[in-house]
Amino acid sequence: MKKITAIYPGTFDPVTNGHIDIIKRASGLFDKVIVTIAINSNKKPLFTKDERIDMLKKSLKSFKNVSVDYFEGLIVNYAKKKNAKVLIRGLRAVSDFEYEFQMSLINRKLASDLTTIFLMPNEKYTYLNSSIVRELASLNGKIDDFIPVYVKQKLIKKLKENKIGKMP
């Protein structure tokens, strides 16, 4: 039987329960899932690559077929290097679809053997993204339902260190 490796790329700044829901679903569909942080020099993430890797590893430790990595450059090149045949992309709303659809077509043109699979998170996470979580946390909003406890601790500490928002 053929073993299928899937890659779930993203910024994960920070990882949310919506991301984890997608990863849980993917881990049940594929033999191996690589959650990989996309390093983009045009973006200015709040957390460093190493901090995001740490938060992902701690948040995903219960998934035995999931590993965490990072990449720079084209995802299709990374996928070839890892012998992955599937890219996982999360869709929260119709607004995500157009961009993700365009990216999947470009990736297919660059690597015809790479298939993009769209997974939708549980409906309780459809409005959730990392930017909203960061903003809520910076305004002392309640974020317990949106991110793992460890990630919350790291986010609060980072915001205090950077003197972002209304800290108590």
* Cα 10 from chain centre: 4
Question: Tell me, what's the pLDDT at 144?
Answer: 94
What structural domains and CATH numbers belong to the chain?
A: 5-123 (3.40.50.620)
Cα separations (Å) of 120 from 14, 18, 26, 28, 101? Answer: 19, 9, 11, 14, 14
Cite the active site residues.
19, 43, 92, 130
pLDDT in tens, the chain (168 residues): 679 999 999 999 999 999 999 999 999 999 999 999 999 878 889 999 999 999 999 999 999 999 999 999 999 999 999 999 999 999 887 777 888 899 999 999 999 999 999 999 888 888 889 999 999 999 999 999 999 999 999 999 999 988 776 654
Spatial strand order in the sheet of 86-90: 66-72, 32-39, 5-10, 86-90, 115-119
